[in-house]
């Protein structure tokens, strides 16, 4: 994946890109409209990348350390720290039911046109926004996402159907 990321960065002459394959980034870019409000679950390179392409970005993040490192973001970004209800047993393991309830609901006050799910509680996030916006799930090939109605876009990106 590193080679793909580096190719994308040099292709677009930008240092900050989403942490995904070049063809996945290109697919998302083709879907976006400049006047849109984008919601993303899981912040990172994609946050700044989206901010350069759309009117507004709301990013929901559970990791306090990551939010501290992302202190200087563009003015059109609303980064919201929403930690889990209780401590994670494993940093990257599956969450327990209800552990990310506040995280999933943290953007209920907005009406985004596009939602990228690349953070925690992905099934719950997808179910919350399916039918309300264009919802794209990253790493959709994982077995735990089989309960969702998905249409593969490219690579591990999938459109979530209501």
pLDDT for residue 6: 41
What CATH superfamily is the domain 2-161? Answer: Vaccinia Virus protein VP39 (3.40.50.150)
pLDDT for residue 93: 73
d(CA 87, CA 134): 31
pLDDT for residue 91: 72
3-class SS string, 31-65: HCCCCCEEEEECCCHHHHHHHCCCCEEEEEECCHH
What stretches of the chain adopt beta strand conformation (E)? Answer: 37-41, 56-61, 77-81, 114-117, 134-137, 149-154, 157-161
Query: Residues 99-147: pLDDT tens digits?
Result: 999 999 999 999 999 999 999 999 999 999 999 999 999 999 999 999 9
**pTM of the full structure:** 0.89
Domain boundaries, the chain: 2-161
Q: What confidence tier does 40 reach under pLDDT thresholds 50, 70, 90?
A: very high
Query: Residues 89-101: pLDDT tens digits?
Result: 777 777 888 999 9
Beta 77-81 vs 37-41: how paired, if at all?
Answer: unpaired
Query: Residues 57-84: pLDDT tens digits?
Result: 999 999 999 898 877 899 999 999 999 9
Q: What confidence tier does 4 reach under pLDDT thresholds 50, 70, 90?
A: very low
Give 1 or 129, the one with higher predicted confidence.
Answer: 129
Rounded to an integer, the average pLDDT of 25-29 is 98
């Amino acid at each position: 994946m590193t080679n793909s990321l580096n190719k994308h960065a040099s292709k677009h002459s930008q240092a900050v890109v989403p942490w995904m394959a070049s063809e996945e980034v290109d697919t998302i870019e083709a879907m976006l409209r400049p006047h849109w409000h984008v919601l993303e679950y899981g912040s990172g390179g994609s946050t700044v990348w989206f901010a350069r392409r759309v009117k507004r970005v709301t990013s929901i993040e559970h990791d306090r350390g990551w939010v501290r490192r992302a202190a200087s973001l563009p003015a059109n970004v609303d980064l919201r720290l929403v930690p889990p209800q209780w401590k994670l047993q494993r940093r990257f393991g599956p969450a327990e039911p209800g552990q990310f309830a506040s995280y999933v609901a943290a953007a209920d006050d907005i009406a985004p046109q596009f939602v990228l799910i690349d953070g925690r509680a992905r099934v719950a996030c997808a179910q919350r926004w399916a039918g309300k916006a264009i919802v794209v799930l990253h790493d959709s090939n994982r077995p735990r996402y089989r309960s969702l109605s998905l249409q593969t876009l490219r690579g591990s990106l999938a459109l979530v159907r209501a």
